[in-house]
Amino acid sequence: MSLHVRLAALAACLVCLSAVPVQPARANEALAPVLQQAVPTIEVRDLQTLIKEKAFFFLLDVRQPEEFAQGHIEGAVLMPLGGLPDSYQRIPKGVKLVVYCRSGHRSAKAVSFLRDHGYDKAVSLSGGYTAWSGAQ
């Protein structure tokens, strides 16, 4: 097939494709509500109550070490999200597990992963450390 014929075929394909209506990609908008619905959360005021009442729970920070160093919730254990698949077995099972990050996106991923691996009491802190520090 000559170059001229291939170019003509390519041009015809492009014309056909341009006639197909395409919706703009809204992956982040579509994914955010799904994550919020699929992953159980805890509000800052409820975490404050757990701490005040000295309830037994495990507090997991899945941010990066530099974020943790800038500020964290007292008693939190740092386990960055990227390393979670290799280290999650160190987290006790059967206890309430509160997971947080900066805003709630990474902790939602962590909670989803942990629940898939038998941590049925894992919840994500709604609004993350940003919400926590804003309420203090």
Pairing of strands 96-100, 57-61: parallel
CB burial readout 48-77, b (16+ within 10 A) else e: eeeeeeeeebbbbbbbbeebbeeebbeebe
Which residues 6+ apart lie within 8 Å of 39 measured at CB? 108, 111, 112, 115, 123, 124
Active site residue 13: no
Q: Which residue(s) pair with 100 in the sheet?
A: 61
Question: Which candidate in 60, 79, 97, 101 is catalytic?
Answer: 101
Q: Give the residue numbers annotated as catalytic, written as ranges.
A: 101
